[in-house]
Amino acid sequence: MSERKVLNKYFPPDFDPAAIPRRKQAKDAQHKVRLMTPYAMRCDTCGEYIYKGKKFNARKETVEGETYYSIKIFRFYIKCPRCSAEITFKTDPKNTDYVAEHGAQRNFEPWREERIAGEESKLLKEMEEENNPMKALENRTIDSKIEMDVLDALDEIRTRNARNERVDADALLDKLVEQDNVKEKSQEELLEEEDSKVAKAIFHNIDGDAVKRIADEDELDLKQLLSDSAKSLLLPKFSSPNTPNTKNEDDNSLAKRKQKRPGSELGIIVKKRKQASTTSPVKIETNSSPILSSTTSTINIDPSSNKIANSLGDLLGAYGSDSDNDD
């Protein structure tokens, strides 16, 4: 298959380019081109605004009889996108710009007005100097003064640049680092002063005396802080009955409880009571609080009696009767 886009074409050895006839074109012939508008404009027919850079399919032609130093001037034809009115503009080689010719007006551009105003003032100044020699002298004096000021400013800039070139970069960096360190130290000192002020405000009383905290080793027991009378009012500590911890002890105690009592053969249940040798009064002290006064009560317990006072059971935490029951 041959190449679709042929880049190199074959020319036979007997090819004569002069034998090819030239195509004749008119001087005012127009060519179709694709362009973008070089400036913002407003259509005179419908008032549509066309911004700068809008793309159009245009026709280009060479302007006959107009040149600028043998430079050709071209004219472009476009149509308004709203009303399809024809708009023309041409090139301006003198000002390196474009000129609106027909169908639309160029929008106001302040920088163009400033440039035009500057050119006009320059022309007026030249005309005044030609007619008035004293005015020309004054203008030259003002210009020389401005030039001297500019030269002085340039000398100052050169001197400053030379002085900056002589400065050692390492020394400058060391100096900056030192300044940063001094600034950090000053900030740390300020923070320490603020901390000390806060601590002084917290740990000092109104008179200015320091309030010391008692160390853990020096802390006193609560009982040492109580008076002797309050210590006597404290209740004694009652120990709980020993409970078996192992399975063997439970089995031994259960075997002892199941031992036969006298009369067990006859089916009689005998309850053994613990006999008290003597009757003795029991003194009990009750304390409602360490601050309140204590009350002392005396209760007589009869060993022959089978009942114990509820008050004694409540105070001593008794577990009930001392008699053993058969399982």
Taking only the tens place, the pLDDT of each residue in 49-104 is: 999 999 999 999 999 889 999 999 999 999 999 999 999 999 999 888 899 999 99
Tell me how far apart the alpha carbons of residues 108 and 160 are, in angstroms, rounded to a whole number: 44
Q: Which of 36-40, 159-163, 261-265 has the highest mean pLDDT?
A: 36-40
Residue 73 has a pLDDT of 94
Domain layout of the chain by residue ranges = 31-107, 109-178
Residue 234 main-chain phi, psi, to 5 deg: -65, 140
Q: What is the mean pLDDT of residues 172-185?
A: 88
The helix/strand/coil state of 162 is helix
**pLDDT tops 70 at residue 285:** no
Mean pLDDT, all residues of the chain:
75
Check residue 324 and give its pLDDT. 47
Q: Residue 169 is which amino acid? A: A
| In the predicted structure, residue 196 carries a pLDDT above the cut 60 | yes
Share of the chain above pLDDT 70, in %: 62
Burial class (CB in 10 A: 0-12, 13-18, 19+), 38: middle
What's the CA gap between 103 and 41, in Å, rounded? 10
Task: Give the residue numbers of the binding site for Zn(2+).
Answer: 43, 46, 80, 83
**Section 160-175 average pLDDT:** 82
Least confident residue range of 6-10, 21-25, 113-117, 256-260: 256-260
Binding residues are: 43, 46, 80, 83
Separation CA 31–CA 61 (nearest Å) = 7
Q: What is the mean pLDDT of residues 5-16?
A: 86
Percent of the chain with pLDDT over 90: 29
E strand or H helix that includes residue 178: helix 169-203
Distance separating alpha carbons of residues 322 and 199, to the nearest angstrom: 65
The predicted-structure confidence for 114-132, as pLDDT tens digits, reads as follows 878 888 888 888 888 888 8
